[in-house]
A and B are shown apart, each in its own frame.
Chain A
Amino acid sequence: MRITEHPILEFLRGEEISFFFNGQELKGFEGETIAAALHAAGVRVLGHSHAMHRPRGLFCAIGNCSSCLMDVDGEPNIRICVEKLKPGMRVETQQGKGCLR
């Protein structure tokens, strides 16, 4: 959920753009991270662990922990907490360890 009124901060968001999460069209803002846009859209499960298949979500949000790795425009293992959203981006839940094409 996005904050609309805040006692201290003002959020200057970029242009509203569309992107795709597992094929579904979602809206986000240019300049924010993929993780921010997914969160605002209510998506909290970003993938599943390799061995136990436990759900994985955002944890550190600054590129330290690798809990948020996803496949973005065909490239696997993207830390979506630091990768900026671009128009038309295809963000997919990653299966396995990812494979470079």
Chain B
Amino acid sequence: MKVLVAVKRVVDYNVKVRVKTDGSDVDIANVKMSMNPFDEIAVEEAVRLKEAGKASEIVVVSLGVTQCQETIRTALAMGADRGVLVETDATLQPLAVAKLLKAVIDKEQPQLVILGKQAIDDDANQTGQMLAALTGFPQGTFASKVDVAGNELTVTREIDGGLETLQISLPAVITTDLRLNEPRFIKLPNIMAAKKKPIETLTPAALNVDVTPRLTVVKVAEPAARAAGKKVASVAELVEKLRTEAKVL
């Protein structure tokens, strides 16, 4: 079974981004970039399927600027076999990303596609579902457990109020939730080995996909900051403040 994993290069989760002074966008110049944490979980799941003898090849795809190669290299060091970079400086929104991934899938014909459930920059949580729609594949979103048996996947999903288990047929799209696995630390020899793995570069034009954004960001702003309150010395004082000052008890 061939597995395709999509990875996104995002601002590292430890960075608190700032808004540009003209309010046009967030300022991501010179900030640390990393693989989207949910995508690391996606790569890890694919590697585990390969180690369990259920996946034969792992192709990792990233879309965006040249530096996305670094994100692909990270996935290759984790155990993916080869990379595809769809290179563009254009702003890519989820629908465009889904269309580009669909075009790559048409070429690669994977049986299973794994993506993170959301990227921690735009927090959209759309791409996997949109990709499933465009390919006609069933979807197992917010997965916390995935079992492959023959031509079927059993997926346990994290939903409001508990867990839901679905059986879906391959080919399929999975999006990862936090509890699916814990991604491995990458060892130095694997980083060296990853440098020898191939990365193919494509473009949206070569894939014949129109990536024109449908959504325009009118402005961005920082939300009103919450002022730090006061420290109280005792439980009695806390209860008193909640009753008489905040009036919420």
Q: Is chain B a partner of chain A in the same complex?
A: no
